[in-house]
Amino acid sequence: MRVFFDTNVYVAEALVGAGAAEMVTATEDAGWRICASTYLLDELERVLTEQLGFSQRLSMLTRQRIIRRAALVEPGASRHAVAGDPADTPILRAAITAGADYLVTNDRHLLDLHPYEGLRIISMTDYRLILVNEGVLPTNP
């Protein structure tokens, strides 16, 4: 399995911690491949520091943790686009380039595209259920 976590999953991991972190760790433990892109890393840093007021140090540590966990992909130009929010287009393109089975997000513009050319675009809640059903996570959060 290949999984691409949207920026909002990593923001949830930094803010809320346990739930999102547990899913990312369970994905690793299952031997599933986590994919990310430079765009995602840059967007994450920008959100953490500029929008949420976290320190540059925290954003860099978060970025480094993702780089250690993930295979980086760099999508080129393509026809894939998110009409409802063009800012989400680089995330969709990266997930497609990565050959991801799942794009995990809580972004409505991306979720509305599900399914997209074989890519399952699902919420964090739905992804957690998949991990539970696969026996990777216990049934109780």
CB 90 within 8 A of CB 39: yes
Domains assigned to the chain: 2-133 (3.40.50.1010)
Alpha-carbon distance of 55 to 63, in angstroms, equals 13
Q: What is the pTM of this model?
A: 0.93
Q: Which pLDDT belongs to residue 17?
A: 66
16: exposed, middle or buried (C-beta count within 10 Å: 0-12, 13-18, 19+)?
exposed
Is it true that the peptide bond before 115 is cis, omega within 30 degrees of 0? yes
Q: From first to last of its 141 residues, what are the pLDDT tens digits of the chain? A: 999 999 999 998 887 767 788 899 999 999 999 999 999 999 999 999 999 999 999 999 999 999 999 999 999 888 988 988 899 999 999 999 999 999 999 999 999 999 999 999 999 999 999 999 999 888 765
User: Considering only CA atoms, which of 115, 139, 128 is closest in space to residue 12?
Assistant: 128
